[in-house]
Structure 1
Amino acid sequence: SRHFRCFPGQGEMDMAGFLAPILATGYRGPLSLEIFNDGFRAAPPRQNAADGLRSLLYLEEQTRLRLEQEGTSIEPGVLFTPPAASAYDGVEFLEFAVDEAVGARLGSWLKRLGFAEAGKHRSKEVQLLRQGDINIVLNAEPYSFGHNFFEAHGPSLCATALRVKDQQAALKRATAFRGQPFRGLVGPNECEVPAVRAPDGSLLYLVEQGTAGQTLYDTDFSLDKNATATGGLRRIDHMALALPAESLDSWVLFYKSLFDFAADDEVVLPDPYGLVKSRALRSQCGTLRLPLNISENRNTAIAHALSSYRGSGVHHIAFDCDDIFREVARAKLAGVPLLEIPLNYYDDLAARFDFDDEFLSELAYYNVLYDRDAQGGELFHVYTEPFEERFFFEIIQRKGGYAGYGAANVAVRLAAMAKARSGAARKPVL
């Protein structure tokens, strides 16, 4: 079907496995794309052309690697040879575009989640909050990239910093695949961190550890050495994005080519007002996870997010912890607005799993959702209500190697959020 035709690297067909034997026979002619796709016809031609070029470069690289793996030699210069992808080690920081008032409200939310105000930027209106290995930056600096992003999209995630082993190698690879580099204003004695623009115009910073253990926070921020987080959140587990339906393939190709991410199979999830399609990206080491969500229905949660942002935006951010019940108990006492899960969900859990009544009551009291995979891995997770009808946060605990995102619980979460928007609520039971 022409509805599912796409560029190499955007779909699931092993195109390198198709092309490698052809080149092994001695073919050195041109490679071109001829794809009749309804989405391509409706999309901006400049973006289509950029994706087409990037896909051919990616196909050449993957084919060269396949031939090398098979022991087939090919003369230098025939196939694209970019710098190898850098190793990653999770997210260094998340940067939110705010103004002074929004920054105060979001900062209050994060402090109730257990974050500590760890420092302020030496020369900019930028605040740093920390907990575990999580760093969150609130950027309210006037006349900055963050300010322009806030004016265009409102309170939103304007930048994500990837922790890399070699930032210059990572930048060279990104620009080789036609990534657009970005340079911001840097004050005296401050770190200059390379960045590239994501498909939605937000930034992806590339951060490596400084010499002698020194970090960009030491150079750029006045740190409060006495700041202590009150929560036990450890790291960022994943970030989910809400995207326009026509941009999903561009995002997949962007991360696969520039950063050597892998893409999981697409799944379809039920929303009370339509269907949501999700495709998760992840780094080869598994420390970076990025579910991408789209919906062609007008009233789904994804559609509402796109309307609020006036474009793509972060859907939710998940934080990992060691003891979800302890974290949720602390969050409840701190006044974090947690999403209330209907009690009949726990009746369904009782039918699916052999849980005793006491454990089910504990799950219900804390609004914790549960899932188990075929290998016995377990997932416990709980959600906050959305911050100002935009993004929300998830507290998550994985056990036994569970690697999914709780797809079995998406329908109940979306229904609970729709119910919360209507003002209905239920009393927790223990």
Structure 2
Amino acid sequence: MSDLLHHPEHAREPLQASFSDEANPIGLDGIEFIEYTTAQPQALGQVLEMMGFFPVARHRSREVTLYRQGGLNIVVNAHPADVAGSTHGADRPSLSAIALRVRDARAARAYVLAHGAWEVPTHPEAMELNIPALHGVGGSRIYLVDRYRDFSIYDVDFLPIPNVQPSGQAELPGLRFFGVVQYIGANRAYDWIEFYATLLGAQLIPDEQRFGIMPAGKLMQLPALEAGNTFMLQLIEPSIEDSDSRESLQRIGLGVPDVLDAVRRLRARGVEFVESPAAHTEQRGALTKAYLGGVVFELVHSQPKVTP
């Protein structure tokens, strides 16, 4: 199964003979989008616009809006059934999905299912794409997308918003997805390390190697992203005094080549940052205040790789 329109098996493209290698078992090639689910799409949209993301397209049949900044896509899903399933009744938006670019979605799906992943059943409407999805942390999903070049998933499932630049202007120079922070249950770090290593080929980063200003937990790096850039998974267990041990995706890390310049630009747009002895703006990183009960972005110093 690939992210294709419904066609019989004989009409589909054959599996690619070499879609991966030992270090990159699913043929990972980048991050297509990160998704929020929320019953407050307008309020979340205002936060995203402060961060420099702007709406460029809307889903044909569902209450879903695509926000973009440069090459980064954030999806805001306000479809009632999805909101009920992802937010668990909470008022705050939920980080509900990460879509991975892979060279062959059918082959990647076959690999992860053979290695213990649980598939999420999908129910596309007529003429919508059927994108493979796996169960992730706290009810989130991991999508496998292989249509991301000249003809992308948005060309089928979304309608452009009139008079909007589809590429999304880049408010922050050199911006990219750096990673996500994941809250996990007590003593669950090595379960999740095994999960990401086995299914995605992620590698554990030594404890002495850290990025940004929030160095807690275990850090993993996904393999072979586009242009040689990295994507990190930060796994954080609850502290002894923390009674909330629910597992979830907690915040997005955004890589920028100049943190202080990015903070200056975002403050001019109305974004507020945490300034305390424990976490404060510096060239290594910065943390926004929590919006809408828990929407947080972390800026991390990251020089984008340049392909020769």
Q: Same fold (TM over 0.5)?
A: yes
C-alpha offsets along residues 105-133 of structure 1, whole Å, 9 cap, x if unaligned?
A: 21111100111111111100011110122
C-alpha offsets along residues 296-337 of structure 1, whole Å, 9 cap, x if unaligned?
A: 4124xxx6xxx3xx7212232111224433322221111111
Q: Distance in 1 between matches of 2:303 and 2:37?
A: 34
Query: In structure 1, which of residues 231, 238, 256 is the aligned counterpart of residue 197 of structure 2?
Result: 256
Q: Distance in 2 between matches of 1:230 and 1:89?
A: 22
Deviates more, 1:179-188 or 1:130-139: 179-188
3-state DSSP of counterpart to 1:181: coil
RMSD after superposition: 2.9
Within 5 A, what are the aligned runs for 1:221-260?
221-224=158-161, 226-227=164-165, 228-229=168-169, 231-232=171-172, 234-260=175-201
Residue of structure 1 in register with 2:153 after alignment = 216
Alignment CA distance shift 1:368-1:199 (3 Å): closer
C-alpha offsets along residues 163-191 of structure 1, whole Å, 9 cap, x if unaligned?
A: 11111111111100121112322122221
Residue 232 (structure 2) pairs with residue 283 (structure 1): no
Query: In structure 2, which of residues 228, 232, 236 is the aligned counterpart of residue 293 of structure 1?
Result: 236
Residue 256 (structure 2) pairs with residue 321 (structure 1): yes
Residue 31 (structure 2) pairs with residue 127 (structure 1): no
Q: TM-score, normalised by structure 1?
A: 0.57
3-state DSSP of counterpart to 1:107: helix
3-state DSSP of counterpart to 1:182: coil
How far the C-alpha of 1:150 sits from its partner, in A, is 1.6
Q: Distance in 2 between matches of 1:105 and 1:188?
A: 30
CA contact (8 A) 1:237 1:320 kept: yes
Residue of structure 1 in register with 2:41 after alignment = 103
Residue of structure 1 in register with 2:19 after alignment = none
Q: Distance in 2 between matches of 1:368 and 1:314?
A: 23
Query: In structure 1, which of residues 373, 378, 382 is the aligned counterpart of residue 286 of structure 2?
Result: 382
Q: TM-score, normalised by structure 2?
A: 0.78
Aligned letter for 2:30? G
Q: Distance in 2 between matches of 1:323 and 1:266?
A: 24
Aligned letter for 2:230? T
Within 5 A, what are the aligned runs for 1:25-424?
85-99=25-39, 102-144=40-82, 146-152=83-89, 154-209=92-147, 213-224=150-161, 226-227=164-165, 228-229=168-169, 231-232=171-172, 234-266=175-207, 278-285=217-224, 287-299=230-242, 307=244, 311-342=246-277, 368-370=281-283, 380-399=284-303
Q: Distance in 1 between matches of 2:137 and 2:296?
A: 22
Alignment CA distance shift 1:199-1:384 (3 Å): closer
C-alpha offsets along residues 368-388 of structure 1, whole Å, 9 cap, x if unaligned?
A: 324xxxxxxxxx322101223
Alignment CA distance shift 1:127-1:296 (3 Å): same
Q: Distance in 2 between matches of 1:215 and 1:398?
A: 27
3-state DSSP of counterpart to 2:81: coil
C-alpha offsets along residues 361-406 of structure 1, whole Å, 9 cap, x if unaligned?
A: xxxxxx6324xxxxxxxxx3221012234241012332599xxxxx
Aligned letter for 1:249? Y
Q: Distance in 1 between matches of 2:190 and 2:205?
A: 13
How far the C-alpha of 1:294 sits from its partner, in A, is 0.7
3-state DSSP of counterpart to 2:88: helix
Q: Distance in 1 between matches of 2:137 and 2:292?
A: 25
C-alpha offsets along residues 188-225 of structure 1, whole Å, 9 cap, x if unaligned?
A: 22211101112432110001135x71111111111136
3-state DSSP of counterpart to 1:120: strand
CA contact (8 A) 1:238 1:319 kept: yes
Percent identity, aligned pairs only, is 26
Per chain length, whose mean CA-contact separation is higher, i.e. which structure has more relative contact order (CA < 8 Å, sep 6+)? Answer: 2
Bigger proportion of residues as helix: 1
CA contact (8 A) 1:96 1:155 kept: yes
Aligned letter for 2:299? I
Q: Distance in 1 between matches of 2:70 and 2:158?
A: 18
User: Structure 1, unaligned stretches of length 5 or more?
Assistant: 1-81, 270-275, 346-366, 371-379, 402-430
Residue of structure 2 in register with 1:409 after alignment = none
User: Structure 2, unaligned stretches of length 5 or more?
Assistant: 1-21
Q: Distance in 1 between matches of 2:221 and 2:234?
A: 8
How far the C-alpha of 1:264 sits from its partner, in A, is 2.2
